Structure 1
Amino acid sequence: MTQRPRTVLLAAALTAAERGWPVVPLHPRSKIPALHGDRRCPRTGDCTHGHRTFEQRATTDPERIRRCWSAGAFNVGIATGPAGLVVVDLDTLKPKDKKGTPTGAESFLALCERAGQPVPTTYRTRTPSGGEHLYFAAPAGARLPSSSGSLAPKIDTRAWGGQVVAPGSVTRDGTYAVLDTSSVAALPPWLQAALTAPEKPATGPYRPMPVRDATRCAAVALEREAADVAARTEVGCRNKELLRAVIRMGRFVAWGDIDRTTVEAAFQAGGESAGLTAAECRTTIQSGLAYSLRTVRPRETR
Structure 2
Amino acid sequence: MAERLVVSLRRWALEFAGRGWPVYPLRPGAKRPDWHRKDRCPQTGRCAGGHVTPEQMSSTDPELIERAWEATPWNIALFPGPAGMLGIDCDQPKPGQTGAGDPDGWTQLQRLANERGGPLPDTFTVTTPSGGRHLLYTVPPGCLLRSTVKHIASNVDTRGWGGYLVGAGSLRPDGAYELLDDTNPAPLPGWLVQANVEHASTAISAPREQAVAAPSAYVAKALQGETDRVRREPPGRRNKVLSTAAYALGQLVGAGLLDEHQARTDLQAAVAAWGDTASLGKDHGVIETSLRAGAANPRRITPRGHRAA
Provide the residue aligned with 2:114 in structure 1.
Answer: 113
- Which residue matches 1:24? 24
CA contact (8 A) 1:26 1:75 kept: yes
**RMSD over aligned Cα, in angstroms?**
2.7
Distance 2:92 2:122 in 1: 20
Task: Give a deviation string over 1:151-207, Cα, whole Å, max 9, x none.
Answer: 11100000000000000000111100111111100111111011115179xxxxxxx
Query: 1:89 Cα shift?
Result: 0.6
Whole-angstrom CA distance in 1 between matches of 2:3 and 2:166: 16
Gap runs ≥5 in structure 1: 201-234, 236-276, 278-302
Residues 126-155 of structure 1, C-alpha deviation per residue, up to 9 Å, x if partnerless?
011010111000221011110011111100
The question of whether the paired residues in 1 share the 8 Å contact of 2:93 and 2:100 is answered with: no
Q: Distance in 2 between matches of 1:43 and 1:99?
A: 42
State TM-score, norm by structure 2.
Answer: 0.60
In structure 1, C-alpha distance between the alignment counterparts of 2:181 and 2:2, rounded to whole Å: 26
1:32, distance to aligned residue in structure 2 (A): 0.2
Letter aligned with residue 18 of structure 2: E
| Corresponding position of 1:167 | 168
Between 1:96-105 and 1:71-80, the stretch displaced more is 96-105
Q: Which residue is 1:63 aligned to?
A: 63
Structure number with larger C-alpha Rg: 2
Partner of 2:295: none
Q: Does 1:72 find its partner at 2:62? A: no
The SS at the match of 1:40 is coil
Aligned equivalents of 1:176, 1:199: Cα separation in 2? 35
Summarize deviations over 1:240-290 as a string: whole Å, max 9, x none.
xxxxxxxxxxxxxxxxxxxxxxxxxxxxxxxxxxxxx9xxxxxxxxxxxxx
User: Aligned residue for 1:229?
Assistant: none
Equivalent residue number for residue 217 of structure 1:
none
Equivalent residue letter for 1:17 = A
Structure 2 residue 141 is matched with structure 1 residue 140: yes
Task: Find 2:42's aligned residue among 40, 43, 59.
Answer: 40
Instruction: Give the direction of change, closer, same or farther, for the CA distance of 1:116–1:72 in structure 2 (3 Å limit).
Output: same
Q: Distance in 2 between matches of 1:177 and 1:199?
A: 37
Offset, 1:120: 1.7
2:187 corresponds to which residue? 186
Q: How much does 1:55 deviate? A: 1.4
SS of residue paired to 1:11: helix
User: What is the count of residue pairs matched by the alignment?
Assistant: 201
Q: Which residue of 2 aligns with 1:92?
A: 92
Q: How does 1:186-205 map to 2 (within 5 A)?
A: 186-198=187-199
Q: Distance in 1 between matches of 2:56 and 2:101?
A: 42
Percent of aligned pairs sharing the same letter:
41
Asked if the contact 1:22–1:60 (Cα under 8 Å) also holds between the matched residues in 2, the reply is yes
CA contact (8 A) 1:43 1:51 kept: no
Q: Aligned partners of 1:188, 1:113: CA distance in 2, in Å?
A: 13
Equivalent position of 2:283 in the other structure: none
Q: Distance in 2 between matches of 1:111 and 1:33?
A: 32
Q: CA deviation at 1:36?
A: 3.7
How far apart are residue 40 of structure 1 and its match? 3.2
* CA–CA distance in structure 1, aligned partners of residues 198 and 26 of structure 2: 32
Which consecutive unaligned segments of at least 5 residues does structure 2 have? 202-260, 262-288, 290-309
